[in-house]
Structure 1
Amino acid sequence: MEDSLRLQSFDQLPSAAQFASQIESRNVPAVFVGCVKDWKAVSKWNPSNGGLGYLEERVGSFMVEAMLSQTAPVFYGDLRSHERVPLPFSTFIGFCKWHRQNVGNSCSINSNSQGHQLGESDTEQGCSTFVDAAPKQIYLAQIPIINAENEARVQLETLQEDIQLPAILEGKNLSSINLWMNIAQARSSAHYDPHHNLLCIVTGRKQVVLWPPSASPMLYPMPIYGEASNHSSVALENPDFSIHPRAQCSMEYSQKVTLQAGDALFIPEGWFHQVDSDELTMAVNYWWRSSIMSSLADHMDAYYLRRILRRLTDREMDQVLLKGSTPTWRQESNVDHSLDQAGQSKDLKRKEQEQHSLLLHELRPCALQALHELVALVHDRVNASDQNQPVSSDSTNGLMCSKTNEQDKTLTTEIFHLEEDPVAKILWILEPGIFKDIFLAMAHNFPRTLEALVLHLLSPVGAEVLTRKFDEIDQQNTEENQNKFYQIFYGVFDNQFAAMDAILNGKESFARQAFKNVLDKYVGGNFDVPKLSVGRDIS
């Protein structure tokens, strides 16, 4: 967990201006200890002080929507795992009273239970569903006290008198204020909210585990097109790492906080949080739109979507390359002799020896070793191809154009990881100056090998590495020197457009795979992205 994302704790409540500029703007969670301890609700709603009777008297039999879950004590956001059923508030309070009286017993609530009895009027009001339900299966979640977006949904407006707007929220355009109340111990599965959230504990205790939005890949968010797109698909209490392997690292990105009655927790939009509540815990939360979301104009959505996806794709490509291992060079006592022995194909070796040995004597030992490795890899590939079909010559100077069979082609075009591609591994660790020297030496001394390397051995990850190295040498050279280098490099190819297409197509294939990874990690859908039809017709 990065230090900049660490949760902050405050014993004194900051002003609204300080909260907005120093806390909210950073989009990092914060705990405000005891900031709502003076609420009337903290004392009046406390079950130990007769709070259940007080609430029943205040609200009465007003109908609320209770969550009934078959997966309790864990409550998942997936609509298939629970249902919302109308229930008189007084009936729910009766269940709470029954639980307090029978805590520790395993019997279920039914028409013969002691304590609250479900009468005929309850059944007529749609409560028969709860007759055989255990207390742990029932949860009041997100019951509106105020709802600015839908006033018709407000169910507990009368409780507003017992709470007071925290000073840090003064001037905020609140979306809603809600009551959360559970009977038995309960867990809300990991999810994020599309609003900023201030969670205030009235009675009981909650333990909250938090993950930043950047940890989404470890939590496998539900598909973006689904009804529960803001929820994790991982059952963190019993994860199946064979299905969700990245979840093994999820706790490395998490932080945990315990909230007592009177405490409040700021949960920024987009932060995943899993909430464990002690029995008979009550909380009130405030939701409001962030300034970023409020300022977004609808006509800019498509642009920002593309920008963000591009940024995530670039980051994914960086991460794939950084995971690559560093190759270990073979130590040769006679590098020039190794170069002579690298080509096992006599025909290829004869063609290479006809070239000038310009620049070879100027190369540093590490550059010679890398050059040896690259030449050997190309020759090995040619020999493997020769076992299946001959190498044809398409030009007077002996263009090595291996008609690679489909199996070899698939092996190359489907390599996206650095550690799987020996060519990319060699190129990745080269300093820009050494990289430039090697390719100039190859262009002068082994042009057919260079051509075969680009046209037949360059994998998607290899193409990405090659172009990144081009960028590095461009940054260290004048425009004139850049032009000279590329003239020599591309001058090797009889068809320069074919070389450019091979490099660009490989690079775009690598980016396409990274984009698919982004969809899987952040959007929650591993789609088959249509392959781009790019490049010139070089037939």
Structure 2
Amino acid sequence: MAEALRQRLVPGGVDIPESSVADVDDLCEFLQTLSAPQVIRGLVGDWPIVQYGKQSRQNLGEYLLRCYSGAPLITSSGSAATKGRIAYDESFKGFNFHRSHMQLQEFLSGIESYADQDEPPTLYVGSSLLEHWFPGVAAENTLTPSLAKPLASLWLGNRVVVSAHFDFPNNLACCVAGRRRFTLFPPEQLENLYVGPWDMTPAGQPVSLVDLLEPDLERFPRFSKAMEVAQEVVLEPGDALFIPSMWWHHVEGLDDLNVLLNYWWRSTPAYMGTPMNVLKHAMLTVRSLPIEQRQVWRDIFDYYIFGAPDEAIAHIPDAGLGMHGPMDENRSRALRAELLNALNR
């Protein structure tokens, strides 16, 4: 049923451009040239963790245990009725999974006990920093996708389905074990994805409320427009997918054990903060203004932020630029202190 609906919504599908590891001389330089998703087949195929995964679940599990720090994993568990989907519960006051802590051995035993079931209960470990939970994996499976220091995380689970969401940093997702299907949507598809609340999320990022595998087009009619431009790919172990900042991605684990290692990095310094904070502040201060005032503030944002900001301040002498000047660490700290003082009044 799910595959039939997928074909009905996306006849033939839209392929993501692909290259192979042989086409990439300098990964960092290659990724800097990209502004759209790109698959790199075989990029991490020689990693030890990939080779163990290709041998068997048992060999991969033993390798992970050798690399494990012993810190309890943050796990998400759900009944078979969820069909692997990480989502809200029917009341919308919580979620359809239970969050707890497990040791890696307990998690792997659970995975093994559910293996080969057509509709297993959900067992999932989301973003887990390599340096904290799996230092051995970090030491033996290395990649440098960016000049900036990337954040490396491991994801483990059975046939888990994570609804479409975006990340602010760029993302290089490396498939380590099992197969994963990614369905990507350009950032401008926001209004067609029916995104849930931004302040109550399953894992930190707002997610689409649409079940992509069984979409309710009566409730979410515009979703068919998003599927017209969706891009899909199935990653095999050793493959990698570059997901640019702000691209929505829906992720499905297709096998009994799926392991993914990803890298996040920003194109701007961390001291500049995140635009998410701006959105939250705008919810607080701008959204409930009379429409005439909201229009004025939209024009102000367009003029100083989204338009041609250099032209907007060209008439101000350099000595008087203040927060309009180039943002460096000192200026960002001063501006942050001013904001905190204002918010605490």
Q: What interval of TM-score do these two structures reach, taking the shorter chain for normalisation?
A: 0.5 to 0.7
Matches within 5 A, 1:360-509: none
CA shift for structure 1 position 61: 5.5
Question: What letter corresponds to residue 41 of structure 1 in structure 2?
Answer: I
Pick from 29, 34, 42: which aligns with 1:18? 29
Residues 248 and 17 (structure 1), Cα distance of their counterparts in 2 relative to 1, 3 Å cut = closer
Match of 2:37 in 1: 29
Unmatched runs of 5 consecutive residues or more in structure 1: 107-134, 147-153, 307-506, 516-539
- Secondary structure of the residue that 2:138 maps to in structure 1? helix
Deviations for 1:291-345, whole angstroms, at most 9, x for unmatched residues? 3x7585789x869x99xxxxxxxxxxxxxxxxxxxxxxxxxxxxxxxxxxxxxxx
Match of 1:86 in 2: 101
Match of 2:149 in 1: 173
Residues 295 and 85 (structure 1), Cα distance of their counterparts in 2 relative to 1, 3 Å cut = closer
Percent pairwise identity: 25
2:49 equivalent to 1:41:
yes
- Preserved CA contact (<8 Å) 1:61 1:90: no
Residues 56 and 241 (structure 1), Cα distance of their counterparts in 2 relative to 1, 3 Å cut = same
2:194 equivalent to 1:194:
no
CA shift for structure 1 position 227: 3.6
Larger Rg: 1
CA shift for structure 1 position 52: 2.0
Match of 2:190 in 1: 216
2:294 equivalent to 1:286:
no
Pick from 66, 80, 85: which aligns with 1:74? 85
Question: What letter corresponds to residue 86 of structure 1 in structure 2?
Answer: H
User: TM-score if structure 2 supplies the norm length?
Assistant: 0.66
- Preserved CA contact (<8 Å) 1:65 1:86: yes
Deviations for 1:27-84, whole angstroms, at most 9, x for unmatched residues? x111111010111111124452722233234438542111113424112378523232
Matches within 5 A, 1:181-260: 181-183=156-158, 185-227=159-201, 230-260=206-236
Question: What letter corresponds to residue 22 of structure 1 in structure 2?
Answer: T
User: In the comparison of the two structures, how many residue pairs are matched?
Assistant: 266
CA shift for structure 1 position 192: 1.1
CA shift for structure 1 position 508: 6.7
Structure 2 distance, partners of 1:194, 1:302, is: 13
Pick from 8, 18, 30: which aligns with 1:9? 18
- Preserved CA contact (<8 Å) 1:136 1:186: no
Residues 53 and 6 (structure 1), Cα distance of their counterparts in 2 relative to 1, 3 Å cut = closer
- Preserved CA contact (<8 Å) 1:144 1:156: yes
Match of 2:122 in 1: 137
Question: What letter corresponds to residue 42 of structure 2 in structure 1?
Answer: G
Question: What letter corresponds to residue 179 of structure 1 in structure 2?
Answer: L
CA shift for structure 1 position 238: 2.6
Higher RCO, Cα 8 Å, sep 6+: 2
Structure 1 distance, partners of 2:46, 2:31, is: 23
Match of 1:96 in 2: 111
Question: What letter corresponds to residue 289 of structure 1 in structure 2?
Answer: R
Structure 2 distance, partners of 1:53, 1:73, is: 25
- Preserved CA contact (<8 Å) 2:15 2:233: no
Residues 9 and 161 (structure 1), Cα distance of their counterparts in 2 relative to 1, 3 Å cut = same
Structure 2 distance, partners of 1:91, 1:45, is: 19
- Secondary structure of the residue that 1:235 maps to in structure 2? coil
CA shift for structure 1 position 253: 1.8
Question: What letter corresponds to residue 85 of structure 1 in structure 2?
Answer: S
Structure 1 distance, partners of 2:55, 2:72, is: 21
- Preserved CA contact (<8 Å) 1:62 1:90: no
Match of 1:65 in 2: 74
- Preserved CA contact (<8 Å) 1:205 1:278: yes
User: TM-score if structure 1 supplies the norm length?
Assistant: 0.44
Residues 302 and 275 (structure 1), Cα distance of their counterparts in 2 relative to 1, 3 Å cut = closer
- Preserved CA contact (<8 Å) 2:193 2:209: yes
Question: What letter corresponds to residue 192 of structure 1 in structure 2?
Answer: F
Pick from 31, 50, 62: which aligns with 1:53? 62
Larger relative helix fraction: 1
2:135 equivalent to 1:157:
yes
Deviations for 1:414-433, whole angstroms, at most 9, x for unmatched residues? xxxxxxxxxxxxxxxxxxxx
